[in-house]
Amino acid sequence: MKWKASKISTMRTWGLLLVLLGMGVMVFGTSGILLFGNVGKVIAAVFMVIGLISCFISMGIYFYVGVLSTSAPVIDCPECNKKTKMLGTTDRCMYCHTILTWDPSAATDKGSEIPVSPEA
Average pLDDT, the chain: 84
Cβ pair 79, 2 in contact under 8 A = no
**Percentage of residues in the chain with pLDDT exceeding 90?**
38
58: enclosing H helix or E strand:
helix 38-71
* Per-residue confidence band for 89, with pLDDT thresholds at 50, 70 and 90: confident
Whether the predicted pLDDT of 112 surpasses 60? no
Above 90 in pLDDT, residue 36? no
- The C-alpha atoms of residue 101 and residue 86 are separated, in whole angstroms, by 9
Quote the CA–CA distance of 32 and 114 in Å, as a whole number.
49
**Per mean pLDDT, which of 85-89, 105-109, 116-120 is the most reliable?**
85-89
Domains of the chain, residue spans: 1-71, 73-108
The pLDDT tens digits of the residues spanning 42-53 come to 999 999 999 999
84-101 exposure pattern, b = at least 16 Cβ within 10 A, e = fewer: bbbbeeebbbbeebbbbb
Answer positive or negative: Cα dihedral of 83, 8, 65, 12: positive
Cβ neighbourhood burial of 120 (10 Å; 0-12, 13-18, 19+): exposed
Q: What is the pLDDT of residue 79?
A: 86
Q: Is the pTM of this model over 0.85?
A: no
Residue 110 has pLDDT above 60, yes or no: no
What pLDDT, on a 0 to 100 scale, did the predictor assign at position 9?
A: 87
